Chains A and B, each alone.
Chain A
């Protein structure tokens, strides 16, 4: 039976005068072309950029790490400068207007009185004393990176005045300056620790994944045993074993090594499983069939495909190291003064009475949490971007 199409439904007969291009369907727009020709790392960057919080976190971490280079200049006071007239002074808020008149950033001077009833130090703002902050000024002397004598600061208190923006501790040392100095130690602990953990994890995980067999089994067992130890008590035991007569710098390296030595298990597992999975991929088989040497396959094909994943998981384990150092120092088993990290600062607020009376001693908690959050978001963004070919 034939279908009869009514005359008015019939499509008009048109022949395009343009020359016929058989590849018209396959032609790509400029945008598509850019996408398909982009390198792996460029694709990752594009994908990473879409994760707004991760980009923000990365920017914040970058700024913090940059601050580590010039901590001495950023801090308004020196690390150990004591102001014995202002012991445990509360934070001085920054004001802009005095008596309805714009003065620029300034703080009111502190009035100190010893309450004879409960022997508490009481500080009050003295509205008569307007102490404007100075910028790019000369203040406490310090040795820049322990080498050059300098006294330049980004901001300092008015001559003869004070500017304890986050209060002072029991020796009258400025908390803000100490937190800024602490950033240097707390942030680098994670980096050195992760370098050790990466080296160990990639080597042992690589051996397990590549050679398999007995080596694989032994390494797997070792990882299992290490993982069944609760991390913190083990860290505590190891850092308690550091000799008492070591210098603070040696202790610092000792702690980072301890943190790195116990953290590699997760990375080693990731490397191993990635290697095992990648070995079976088509591109690997293709390379083998084309006669590539094992060395070339590893360097040229395997390494780039799992490097991004490893970087992402390494980033995600940095915060646990920073927290580990903070916890150890907090307990008094980690870094020791004069090396100052956020954990060392927090160890002063172990006592509940201290926390209630002088809550600003708890402030180093804030940078710890910010950095840990930022590393988590940043690592999450990296992990999503690590495999740009998936959707």
Chain B
């Protein structure tokens, strides 16, 4: 097990390095940088620009360095918890992002939990009650859930909650808790406001999970060992839970690799629609104003979130399934 863990961790390092390189290349892509945009803006307003001051700022932010030097500086900084400087806010990135990263993480992991909690009973039910009316209804609902783009669902939900309840579901917590230190009441308010976004983001993932669980469980239920168990007179519920269910559970954990990027993507755009104070809206504005270090740290954070999530799922899978542990971690 420890052997497997070490190997898995070693594989993660080049992946993270490649991700950081791609991220940095992307945020470097737009022609010009924040300063040149800023100067152009000042000049268009007729203000004088002190060439010496600009040169000093360029030197200060390392904008004159060649690409690889900038990259290495950025990478080196990140190891020390220094994520660069946000030009728009005039603050170090780590101070700007504040609670947002934590809220993004809470949102993503609650959604994963929601997906599991909802998909599990429904998937098991529709596999054991195959081709009944309930199964067909659930399949149809799943298809609808899979096809509905989540930000549109968010818009439609916003409309209907406003029409029927007259409340706004936007925001991450009650207004009176904003800026307050964390307390139990604040946490409760956050969870209240989490409900709608979690449902909106989790719908398509849940639908996909139900379909996979149903297919997997059906495969297992048709195997001979289940027939044998039944023929021996094992109670049906026990014959379901003891082996087939355990086998069918694997995709629940193995699929996090596909589920997490999807959820993180969904969270980004749904947060914009519902104006949640997570990374999504700030990433959008940072991209629009070419605030490169801020945008870069968000991208890096979101990608690392999925990488770490996949790592955790692989470890959980290895604990759950001895075959993976012993055969060197070929999970997919």
Contact = CB atoms under 8 A, between A and B. Distances in A.
Interface of A: 221, 224-225, 227-234, 236-238, 240-241, 243, 319, 323, 326-327, 330-333, 346, 349-350, 352, 355-356, 359, 362, 365, 368-369, 372-373, 376-377
Contact of B147 (A232, A238, A372): A372
Interface of B: 14-15, 18-19, 22-23, 26-27, 29-31, 143-144, 146-149, 151-152, 155-156, 158-159, 162-163, 168, 170, 257, 260-262, 264-266, 268-269, 272-273, 283-284, 287-288, 290, 295, 298-299, 302-303, 306-307, 310
A362 B156 contact: yes
B15 A355 contact: no
Given A352-B162, A365-B155, A373-B147, A228 B287 contact: no
Pick the 6 closest A-B CB pairs, nearest first: A232-B265, A241-B29, A240-B287, A230-B264, A230-B265, A230-B261
B272 A365 contact: no
B143 A368 contact: no
Given A327-B269, A369-B147, A233 B152 contact: no
Contact of B287 (A224, A225, A231, A237): A237
A228, A319, A352, A377: most-surrounded residue (chain B CB, <10 A): A228
For the residues of A in contact with B, the DSSP-based class is helix
Given A236-B283, A376-B146, A224 B15 contact: yes
Contacts of A362: 155-156, 159
B19 A232 contact: no
Contact of B268 (A232, A346, A356, A377): A232
Contacts, number: 127
B267 to A, nearest CB: 9
Nearest to A365: B152
A368 B152 CA distance: 9
Nearest to A373: B147
B328 to A, nearest CB: 15
10 contacts: A221-B15, A225-B22, A229-B299, A232-B265, A243-B31, A352-B168, A355-B158, A362-B155, A368-B152, A369-B149
Given A233-B268, A234-B26, A372-B147, 5 more contacts: A229-B306, A237-B27, A355-B159, A355-B162, A376-B147
Contact of A237 (B143, B148, B295): B295
Given A225-B22, A236-B284, A240-B30, A372 B149 contact: yes
Given A234-B26, A237-B295, A349 B155 contact: yes
Contacts of B290: 240
Nearest to A322: B149
A231 B144 contact: no
Contacts of A326: 149, 152
A57 B287 CA distance: 38
B287 A333 contact: yes
Contact of A350 (B143, B148, B273): B273
A197 to B, nearest CB: 17
Contact of A356 (B14, B15, B148, B162): B162
Contact of B306 (A230, A236, A240): A230
Given A333-B287, A356-B163, A373-B143, A230 B30 contact: no
Contact of B29 (A221, A238, A372): A238
Contacts of A349: 155
A222 to B, nearest CB: 8
Contacts of B260: 230
A188 to B, nearest CB: 19
Contacts of A234: 26, 299
A233 B159 contact: no
A114 B92 CA distance: 50
A223 B150 CA distance: 25
A373 B144 contact: yes
A233 B299 contact: yes
Contacts of B30: 240-241, 243
Nearest to B30: A241
Contacts of B155: 346, 349, 355, 362, 365
B172 to A, nearest CB: 16
B19 A229 contact: yes
B64 to A, nearest CB: 21
A372 B287 CA distance: 28
Contacts of B269: 232, 327, 330-331
A231 B261 contact: yes
A251 to B, nearest CB: 14
A376 B268 contact: no
A233 B15 contact: no
Given A230-B303, A233-B298, A373-B144, A240 B288 contact: yes
Nearest to B265: A232
A61 to B, nearest CB: 14
B255 to A, nearest CB: 13
Contact of B26 (A238, A333, A355, A372): A238
Contacts of B152: 326, 346, 365, 368-369
Nearest to B14: A221
A236 B269 CA distance: 10
B108 to A, nearest CB: 10
B29 A236 contact: no
Contacts of A227: 257, 261
A83 B71 CA distance: 53
B284 A333 contact: yes
Contacts of A372: 147-149
Contacts of A228: 15, 19, 257, 261, 303, 306-307, 310
Contacts of A356: 159, 162-163
A349, A352, A356, A359: most-surrounded residue (chain B CB, <10 A): A352
